[in-house]
Homo-oligomer: A and B are copies of this chain.
Amino acid sequence: MHNWPKESAKKSMKLTTKGRFAVTAMIDVALFNHGEPVTLAEISARQKISLSYLEQLFGKLRRHGLVDSVRGPGGGYNLAKAPGTISVSDIILAVDEPIDTTSCGGEKNCHDDSICLTHHLWASLNAHIFTYLQGVSLQSLVDDAKARKNPSLHVVQDLRKTGTRAVPIAA
């Protein structure tokens, strides 16, 4: 018998390239935000992410309170909180619009005793993934990036071919 971790899952999170782009962009903001707001055009050039797409992503990041925007010339984005207080799970949940599901990933047929065969398994996996991403702060990613020998920070993995699609993840 497997010892299931407690499943505190409520929402389901998805892991897509969108989330990965968002994390990369947030690292970029954290790295280059020295007083002046960072513009999306800069991020686009450095990280090779299209401006249009960044606009879409940062709209969600802003609405979820992860960045503050400054409009007009000289504007751009600042982190809304200290990077140590922003977790990867925060970023992914912001851009991937998790569906607020009920237990069992929003499905029926899975309550009381007639619980589905794999309910615990997936719920527990979701919880594991979420807990892991929650434990990684933007600060730690920034520190990791700064520690690299070559601080050019220009070349970034092209996420688009890495394998994409989502997974329901406990939140």
Across the interface, do B107 and A161 meet the contact criterion of CB distance under 8 Å?
yes
When distances are taken between beta carbons in the complex, the residues of chain B under 8 Å from A133 are 125
Q: Could you list which residues of chain A lie within 8 angstroms of chain B, going by C-beta atoms?
A: 1-2, 4, 12, 14-16, 20, 23-24, 27-28, 47, 88, 99, 101, 104-110, 113-122, 125, 128-129, 132-133, 136-137, 140-141, 143-145, 147-150, 152-159, 161-168
Q: Find the B residue at minimum CB distance from A25.
A: B117
Check if B163 sits within 8 Å of A165, measured CB to CB: no
A15 touches B167 (CB 8 A): yes
A89 to B100, CA, bound (A): 27
CA distance A115 to B141 in the complex (A): 13
Residues of B within 8 A of A109 (CB): 155-158
Query: Please, which residue of chain B has its CB at the minimum distance from the CB of A5?
Result: B132
Contact B14 A163 (CB under 8 A): yes
- Nearest chain B residue, comparing its CB with the CB of A163: B168
Complex Cα spacing A14 to B167, Å: 9
Closest B residue, CB atoms, query A12:
B163
